[in-house]
Amino acid sequence: MKKSRLFIWIIVTAIVTAGITYSIVKPKEVSIAGNGDPFQKLRSTYDILQKGYYKDIDTDKLVEGAIKGMVESLEDPYSVYMDVEQAKSFSENISSSFEGIGAEIQESNGTILIVSPIKGSPAEEVGLKPKDVILKVDKESIEGLSVNEAVMKIRGEKGTKVNLVVKREGVGELNFTITRDTIPLETVYSEVIEDNIGKIQITKFSETTGEELAKSLTDLQEKKVEGLIIDLRQNPGGLMDQALAMSELFVAKGENILQVEYNNGSKEVYKSENEAAIDLPITVLIDGGTASAGEIMAAALHQSAGIPLVGEKTFGKGTVQSAESFKDTSSVKYTTAKWLTPDGTWIHEKGIEPQIKAELPAYANLPFINPEIVLKKGDSKTEVNAAQQMLKALGYEEVSVEGYFDDSTEKAVKDFQKQHKLTVDGKITGETTMKIMELIQSKLQENDTQLEKAISVLKEKM
C-alpha cells in the first residue's frame, strides 16, 4: 500500500532566508494510507486543519476555497466557481436588469479585460473599449482576482461611483470614474433608417432576446422595409440557445447553424428547421466587441445564408459553458465543448474577419475625460492629448495635438466656451468637458462610417 507523507511543521525558532522569515524545526512525520481514492489527500488535509490549526476555522469557507481552487486549476478563464452572491449576479446578467457599469469582462492570460460595454450603459458612455485591461478598481489592484471577484468589486448600487484604471493597447493607462446605473433587460432595438431600410441592434443574448427579435422583425415587416441591417457590434454574447433560435430565423431549413465538438471528438450539428427564413437583403455589422453568441449568429448568417459581414474582426470566443447549481444556489460554470462555425471552423482566439472591412473615425477610440479633473495651460498628460484630438475633430483646426496644453489649446478652449455659452476661462473641466464629449458622441452617431458602409453594401443587393 502506497503512503504519502504530510509534514506538520512545529514552530520553535525563526530563520531569515532571502528576506523571508520562517519558523521551522525538524519535521514530525505523519503517514496517511492511500487506498486509490483521489480525494483521500483532500479529506486528510481538511481533518488536519480542523484539528490542528491555531484559530477557529470557518468550515464553509474552507470547503468553498477547495472547490474554487479545483476549478481554477483548470486554467480556463470561462470555468469558475460562483458563491451565492456571485451566482445571483451571474443569473441577473442573463435574465433581468441589474445595477452596475454595464460591461462584460473576462480573464485572459492572468488579466481582467473588457469584452464589450453594453449599449447605453455607463461603461459605453465613458468610453470603455473591448480588450481594455482593467488594472485597478477604486485604487486597488485586481491582479490575481477571478472574473467573479472582479465583477463583485465593480458592481454596486445605482448612483454610486467606481473608479477604474485600464490599460489600452497603443494608448497606455487611462482613468475612468463611472457612475453606476440600472442596466436594462431590453436587448433588441429596431428602427427604420434611410431608403426604407430596417436596422436591428442586438446588444446581448439573454432569456428574452429571441422574443424581442421576432417582435422587431414583425414590426419592420409591417412597415414594409426593403432591406435589413443586423448590428451585432459591442455584443458580448450570452445564451447559446438564443443564438441558435435567432439564427434560424434567417437560415433556410436543413442548413447548418452550428457545430459543437466534445472532448471525445464527437460532434453535434445543429441545423435550421425553419420553413420560411426571412427573405430580405441583409447585412450584418460586427466589431472587436462581438463575442461568443454574437459570433455564433454572425458566422451562421454568413456561412449558411450568404449574408455579408461588415466592420472589424470579432473578439474570438469559441467555447461553450454550462452552469450547475448547488442547493445553496452557489454554482459552477465550466466549459463543456468547443463550438464551430457551420463549415467546422474553430474561431477561438482568432475571431471572424468581415468580408467588407470598415473602421470608425479615429475619434471613436478616444478615452473618456473625467469632468472632475482640471486641464489647464502648462499641463502635459494623456487627457490633454485626448481633449486636443476631440477639439480638432469638432473643427478647431488651430489646436496642436501633442499632449501639452499650450497657447493654441487654451485659445481653442476659450473659443469653444464662447460658442457654447460656457464660462470662458480656457480650462477643460466640468461643463466644458461634458459638452466636448457630448458633441463628440453626437458627431460619431452622425458619422457612423461602419453603418454607412453596411447601408452601401445592402443597397447593392436591394
The set of catalytic residues is 292, 317, 321
Angle, helices 293-305 vs 240-248, to 10°: value is 20
Bridge partners of residue 158, in order along the sequence: none
HEC readout, the chain: CCEEEEEECCCCEEEEECCEEEEECCCEEEEEECCCCCCHHHHHHHHHHHHHCCCCCCHHHHHHHHHHHHHHCCCCCCCEEECHHHHHHHHHHHHCCEEECCEEEEEECCEEEEEEECCCCHHHHHCCCCCCEEEEECCEECCCCCHHHHHHHHCCCCCCEEEEEEEECCCEEEEEEEECEEECCCCEEEEEEHHHEEEEEECCECCCHHHHHHHHHHHHHHCCCCEEEEECCCCCCECHHHHHHHHHCCCCCCCEEEEEECCCCCEEEEECCCCCCCCCCEEEEECCCCCCHHHHHHHHHHHHHCCCEEECCCCCCCEEEEEEECCCCCEEEEEEEEEECCCCCCCCCCCCCCCEECCCCHHHHCCCCCCCCCECCCCECHHHHHHHHHHHHCCCCCCCCCCECCHHHHHHHHHHHHHCCCCCCCCECHHHHHHHHHHHHHHHHHCCHHHHHHHHHHHHHC
- From the list 19, 95, 81, 6, the residue with the least C-alpha distance to 51 is 6
